[in-house]
Amino acid sequence: MLISDQSKILKCPHCGALRYMINVLSGNSMGAVRWSDTKVEAPMMLSSSSVLRCPACKRYHFYSDSELVGLSEPDWERTCRDCGTLSYQSLKKALAQLQPYGDKEKMLRMMLVNGYNDWYGGCLGTRQPSEAPAEERTYFEQNARRLIELVADDSLEWMFVSAELHRELGEFEQAISLLDRIPKDWFLFSMAEQIRHHAEQHDCRVFILDNPESQYRRIPAKECEGEICQESEESIRDRMRIERERVAFDEDDDLI
């Protein structure tokens, strides 16, 4: 994993408060664990959450709706605390507040599927689906069905997701019917066949792709709002302007 020597400073679209966010330039998939519900746990691929909660006003917003104000030297003790990750319960609150549509709704509802399975997916470290409280199971089912509705007749990738959602809902015939439509030359066909195998076994638990017998423990998201930047927006923009002028001067100097 490569982390930039600077942190992003983002502006909340609601209250204008500034916050630090980690700036990851690249990473790799070494040691990555891929789950049937599309969740990927990659220790060398640290990234910021797509949905954030402002540490100042406590309102939720999408990362893409933030304004990049500038960059700052990072506090390395804060590196693992400024990703803005949200817990499953916070994601539920974010959906209720944001009421997104289109691709943003798909993304947030998929995050909610992953969050539910972090607790009730039936794999190591979670409870069985049958042990979920009635209100949580009802919420999951409503969310999953809405997501299936949103992605109907979309791409092969979303067809794969829909098949997995039907399997997790215990609708095994619907899952197999969708999987029958996936061509054998598709790059994720082998993963689709693993979903089919579990559907044929009437197994609605999430599992690790390519290694279903693994003893790897599912890791729930750890709540982290990030930290407020105390520097004013004006001083950040002035600093960035001075830095750009310095770089431009150095480049002109090299041409002499």
pLDDT at 255 exceeding the cut of 50:
no
Please indicate, yes or no, whether the overall pTM of this predicted structure exceeds 0.85: yes
Average pLDDT estimate for 20-24: 80
Comparison of pLDDT for 73 and 4, the residue scoring more: 73
pLDDT digits (tens, 9 = 90+) for 115-136: 999 999 998 889 999 999 999 9
109 belongs to a structural domain? no
61 belongs to a structural domain? yes
Q: What is the DSSP string of the chain?
A: -EE-SSEEEEE-TTT--EEEE--EEE---TT-EEBTTS-EE-TT-----SEEE-TTT--EEEGGGSEEEEEE---GGGGGG-S----HHHHHHHHHHH---THHHHHHHHHHHHHHHHHHSSSTTS--GGGS-HHHHHHHHHHHHHHHHHTTT--HHHHHHHHHHHHHTT-HHHHHHHHTTS-TTSTTHHHHHHHHHHHHTT--S--BTT-TT--PPP-PPPP---EE--S-HHHHHHHHHHHHHHHHHHHHHHH-
What's the pLDDT score for residue 256?
44
pLDDT digits (tens, 9 = 90+) for 31-65: 788 999 999 987 766 677 899 999 999 999 999 99
What's the pLDDT score for residue 60?
97
Inter-residue contact 7 to 73 (CB < 8 Å): yes
Q: Which domain holds residue 250?
A: 2-85+224-255
pLDDT at 2 exceeding the cut of 60:
no
144 belongs to a structural domain? no
191 belongs to a structural domain? no
What's the pLDDT score for residue 247?
67
Comparison of pLDDT for 53 and 231, the residue scoring more: 53
130 belongs to a structural domain? no
79 belongs to a structural domain? yes
Residue type, 195: I
What percent of the chain has pLDDT above 90?
59
**Number of domains, the chain:** 1
What's the pLDDT score for residue 242?
82
What's the pLDDT score for residue 4?
59
**Using N-to-C axis directions, what is the helix angle for 103-120 and 156-168, rounded to 10°?**
40
Residue type, 158: W
- The winner for highest mean pLDDT among 42-51, 150-159, 239-248 is 150-159
What's the pLDDT score for residue 177?
97
Average pLDDT estimate for 137-159: 95
pLDDT at 141 exceeding the cut of 80:
yes
Q: Is 217 left (phi over 0), alpha (psi -120 to 50) or beta?
A: beta
